[in-house]
Chain A
C-alpha cells in the first residue's frame, strides 16, 4: 500500500493501517537504535516509543509526511534523549555499579570478534557523526536522505561523515595522533 494511502487511512481513524508501518520498519528502526545506543532492550523500547509518537504526529498534522525520514528523525531524537539521561546520570552517579548496568545491557554475545572491534570504534565516534555513519553504511541512506531524516543540509551530512570517518579510523586503527 502506498504511504500516502496509509497515512490517509490513519487520519480517517483506521488505526490498524499503522500496523503495516510497524511491520515494515520495526527491524531497521530497532537496528538503528541499537547501533546508536549499544543497548538492545533500550532499542526495542525506543522503537516502540518512536512508532507511537509517529502515529500521534500523523494525527496531529495534515502536512505531507515522508514516513521513512519521519521515523528516523523521531528515533534519532529518542536516542539523543537516552544519551542525555546517561550523561546526567553519569554526572550525578551515586554508586560503583552504574557502569556495570550500562555494560551489562550491551548485547555483545551476538557479535563476532570483527564486529566487536567495529562496534568499539563506532562507540567512540561523537553521536552526531555516528548517526550519519550508521544511516549511511548500515541503513544504506544516501546523504540527501540523511539530511532529510536529521533535518540538516547535505553539506552538513558530508562534513559529519568525513569527520566521523576520521574519528572511526583513529579508534579502529589504534589511536589519534594527538591522543595522550
Chain B
C-alpha cells in the first residue's frame, strides 16, 4: 500500500472520523511508515491551533436587537451597509445629487429650499441621459503618518432610458511618509459598461494584484439589489436610498455663481449624518451643486466626505463633477462585449473538473487573442569535462500580432568557460533589443559583438512573410499542444490567482529544442486561471546529455498581458543602417 492511497483516510483518521475497519487499516500502515507518522503528528499539531480560534473576547449580546426585529419593533439591518465602499463611490452619490436637485422650477425667481426639494421629486423623471466628467481625490492618513493620495479621473455616460452606463476611469496613487514621496505603480485605467444587470469590465493598463488581466473584456452579473443602484430610474422610484443618505437633508441656496460662462444657483446640501455605516466614523459630508439659472440643469457638483475608518485611518474624499450632453448622450456598446468572459459572481471552483473541460475553457479564452506580453526567465547550466558555465536570461516580449510587430528585450549574464565547440549553447553576456517587423529586423546591443558596435541600431533582413512562429504563435501552439498532450492535473497559483496546474507528460517535445533522445528529467507545467481559463504561466525544465556535456535548463514564462499590447517603433530605429560588412581577411605577408 502506498502512502498516497491512505491520504484521504489519514486526514479523517487525524480527525477521529473513521469507522473501526478503516481506522485499523490506517493504524497498520502507520506502524511501518515513518513518513505518515510524521505527517499525522504534524497535522494534529497544526490543526490544534485552529481550535484557538474558538476564543472571542466579549461577543456583544444581540438578543435584544434580534428579538425587536422579530417582533417588528426593530430597525432592519441596513441592506446597503455592506456596500458602503460602493456607496462612497461616485455613480450613486452622483445619481442622488441629480435626483435631488435636477430640474428646478423654471423662472429666475428666488426659490426656497422647500420648493427645490419638491421640484426634484416632481420633475426628476425628465432626465433621460447625461455625461459627467469628474475628478475625485482620496487623501488618507494612517496612524503611522503614512499618507496616500488617490486621484481618479472619471468620464461617465449614463443613459437612464435604456438602462446603460459607461464609465472610463484612470486612477493614480501616490504614497508619502514623512514628506518623502514613494513612487507607486498602482496607476490604472479601467472601462466598465453596465447593461441589463451585467457589468462589463476592461482593464487598459495593468492593475497590480488584480486577478483581471488587461486587454480582455470580462462580465459579471450583478445582484438585483446592487443593479438597482446603477439603474438610475429605479433610484428615483426607490426612496429607500434617498432616505438612507438624505433623510431630511438641509438644503440651502447659497447664492449665485458663474460656471463655464453660465450663471448658476449655488446650492448646499447637508445630508443627515446619523444614518451612516457604523464601521465608519463620519466626520463630515457636504454636497454643493451649481444649477444653470436658464435651463435649471445641473452644471457642476462638489462632494466632500471626511471619515475615520476602524483602526484610525482618516480619509478625506473630494469629488468635483461637471455635467454635459444632457438628454443627448448616446452609448454605443462595443461589439467585443459579446465575447466577454463571464466571471460568475457566486463562483467557486468546481470540486471536480475534467481535463476536457479545462481544455475547452482554454480554447474559448484564446478566441480573439491578438497580442501578448510575456515575461520570461531562463537558467542554463552546462557541465563538461572541458569546463562549466551557466547563463541567466531575463526577457520581455511584446507580441503585437495584429500589427505584425514584436519587441524583445533580453538581458543575458553568462559566467564560466567552455570549450569553443560547446559555447554555442550559451548566449554571451549582453543586453539586446530587437524589433521584429515584416520588412526588417532591428537590433541593438549593449556590448559590441563582432562588427556590431555597442549602442547602435542595425537593420537586418526582415521577416518577409509570416512573423517568427515562436513569437506569433506562442499561445496557439501552446493550446494546440495541450490538446494532444498527456496531462496530469493539479493546483497552483500565479501571484494570488488560483490556477489549474497542468503537468504535461507527453507531446511537449515541439517546445523543447534538441534531440529528444538526449532529454531526461523533463517537467512541463502549464498554469491555467481557474476562473477565466487563460494560460498564465509555463514552466519547463529538462536535462540534455550530449557530446560529453550535461545541459540543465529551467525556463519560466508568465503572460502578463492579453491584448491591448501595442509595439511602437521609435523613428531612430527605422532609420538604422545595415551592419557594416566585416573587413576582408588580411593576407599574411609572404615570408
Alpha-carbon separation in the docked complex, A138 to B569 (Å): 60
Q: B430-455: contact bitstring with A at CB < 8 Å (1 yes, 0 no)?
A: 00000000000000000000000000
A161 CA / B12 CA spacing, docked (Å):
8
Residue of A nearest to B154 (CB): A94
Q: Are A137 and B50 in contact, CB atoms less than 8 angstroms apart?
A: yes
Q: In chain B between 521 and 539, which residues have their CB closer than 8 angstroms to a CB of chain A?
A: 525, 527, 537, 539
Residues of B close to A101: CB separation below 8 A = 84-85, 88, 279-280, 309
A89 touches B47 (CB 8 A): no
Q: How far is the CA of A103 from the CA of B88 in the complex (A)?
A: 16
**A115-B53 CB under 8 A given contacts A85-B82, A91-B201, A94-B169:** yes
A119 to B53, CA, bound (A): 8
Q: Which of B12, B83, B154 contacts A85 (CB 8 A)?
A: B83
Count of chain B residues with Cβ under 8 Å from any Cβ of A? 91
Closest to B14 in A: A165
Q: When each residue 67-82 of chain A gets 1 if its CB lies under 8 Å from chain B and 0 otherwise, what string results?
A: 0000000000000101
Instruction: Tell yes or no: B186 within 8 A of A by CB.
Output: yes
Stretch from B67-75, B366-374, B396-404, B478-486 forming part of the interface with A: B67-75
Tell me which of B106-114, B258-266, B344-352, B508-516 binds A: B344-352
A31-B59, A162-B8 are known contacts. Are A176 and B493 too (CB-CB below 8 A)? yes
Cβ of A8 under 8 Å from chain B: no
Q: Is the CB of A95 within 8 A of B136?
A: yes
Residues from chain A with a CB closer than 8 A to the CB of B60 are 44
A158 touching B17 by the CB < 8 A rule?
yes
Set A82, A105, A119, A133: member contacting B310, Cβ < 8 A: A105
In the bound complex, what is the Cα–Cα distance between A127 and B317 (angstroms)?
33
* Chain B residue with the shortest CB-CB distance to A82: B82
Which residues between 544 and 566 of chain B lie within 8 Å of chain A, taking CB atoms?
Answer: 556, 558
If the complex has contacts A30-B62, A84-B346, A95-B89, are A143 and B52 also in contact, measured as CB distance less than 8 A?
no
Q: Which residues of chain A are near B336, meaning CB under 8 Å?
A: none
Q: CA separation between A136 and B59, bound complex, in Å? A: 21
Contacts of A30 in B (CB 8 A): 56, 59, 62
Q: Is the CB of B152 within 8 A of A88?
A: no
CB-based contact B63/A22 at 8 Å: yes
Are A91 and B525 in contact, CB atoms less than 8 angstroms apart? no
User: Would A26 and B50 count as touching, CB distance under 8 A?
Assistant: no
Interface pair A89/B67, CB less than 8 Å apart: no
Indicate if the CB atoms of A41 and B279 lie closer than 8 Å.
yes
Given contacts A51-B70, A84-B223, A115-B53, contact A96 B62 (CB under 8 A): no
DSSP class of B's interface residues: helix, strand, loop or mixed? mixed
Chain A's closest residue to B57 (CB) is: A110
Contact between B525 and A178 (Cβ–Cβ < 8 Å)? yes
Stretch at the interface among B123-131, B409-417, B494-502, B573-581: B494-502
Q: Does A104 contact B (CB under 8 A)?
A: yes
Q: State whether A95 touches B53 (Cβ < 8 A).
A: no
Assembly CA distance A94 to B56 (angstroms): 34
Which chain B residues border A105 with CB–CB below 8 Å?
279, 310
Q: Smallest Cβ distance from B524 to chain A, in angstroms?
A: 13
Given A52-B69, A104-B310: A91 touches B199 (CB 8 Å cut-off): yes
The residue of chain A having its C-beta at the shortest distance from the C-beta of B17 within the complex is A143
Indicate whether A151 reaches chain B with its CB closer than 8 angstroms. no
Q: A64 on the interface (CB 8 Å rule)?
A: no
Q: Mark A98-112, 1 if CB is under 8 A from B, else 0.
A: 101111110100101
Asked if B218 contacts A91 (CB within 8 A), the reply is: yes
The A134-171 residues at the B interface (CB cut-off 8 A) are: 134, 136-139, 142-143, 156, 158-163, 165, 168-169
Flag if A85 contacts B57 (CB, 8 Å).
no
Contacts of B167 in A (CB 8 A): 94
Please indicate the chain A residues that have their CB under 8 angstroms from the CB of B86 in the complex: 89, 92, 94
CB distance from A19 to the nearest CB of B (A): 5
Say yes or no: A95 contacts B138, CB within 8 Å. Answer: yes
Interface residues on A, range: 35 or more
Is the Cβ of A41 less than 8 Å from the Cβ of B278?
Answer: yes
Do residues A52 and B70 form an inter-chain contact, with CB atoms below 8 A?
yes
A27 CB–B CB distance under 8 Å: yes
Contact A162 B7 (CB under 8 A): yes
Q: Which residues of A contact B212 (CB under 8 A)?
A: 91
Inter-subunit contact B346/A89 (CB<8 Å): no
User: Does the CB pair B85–A89 fall under 8 Å?
Assistant: yes
CA distance A127 to B351 in the complex (A): 12
Task: Give A88's nearest chain B residue, CB to CB.
Answer: B345
CB distance from B199 to the nearest CB of A (A): 5
Check A26 against B62 for contact (C-beta < 8 Å).
yes
Please tell me if the beta carbons of B279 and A104 are within 8 angstroms of each other in the complex: yes
B29 contacts the other chain (Cβ, under 8 Å)? no
- Given A22-B67, A114-B49, the answer on whether A92 and B82 have CB atoms closer than 8 Å is no
Name which residue of chain A comes closest to B173, CB basis.
A96
B50: contacting residue among A92, A104, A107, A133, CB under 8 A: A133
Q: Inside 8 A of A136's CB, which chain B residues have their CB?
A: 15
Partner of B495 from A44, A88, A180 at Cβ < 8 Å: A180
Minimum CB–CB distance for A171 against chain B, Å: 10
A residues less than 8 Å from B173 (CB atoms): 96
B364 close to A (CB within 8 Å): no
- Bitwise interface map of A from 111 to 130 toward B, beta carbon under 8 Å scored 1, else 0: 01011001100100011100
Q: Which of A1-58 contact B (CB under 8 A)?
A: 15-16, 18-19, 22-23, 26-27, 30-31, 34-35, 41-42, 44-45, 47-49, 51-52, 55
Query: Is B77 close to A, CB under 8 A?
Result: yes
What residue of chain B has the Cβ atom nearest to residue A160's Cβ? Answer: B351
* Cβ < 8 Å to A, chain B residues 196-232: 199, 201, 212, 218, 220, 222-223, 226
11 A-B pairs (CB sep. < 8 Å): A45-B82, A51-B66, A80-B346, A88-B226, A91-B218, A92-B222, A94-B152, A160-B351, A168-B47, A177-B492, A180-B539
CB-CB nearest 9 A-B residue pairs: A178-B492, A96-B150, A137-B50, A94-B89, A104-B309, A162-B11, A98-B85, A104-B310, A101-B85
Additional A-B contacts beyond A51-B66, A97-B150 (14; CB < 8 A) = A19-B67, A30-B62, A31-B56, A92-B192, A94-B152, A95-B152, A95-B171, A96-B148, A97-B138, A101-B84, A142-B17, A176-B491, A178-B493, A180-B527
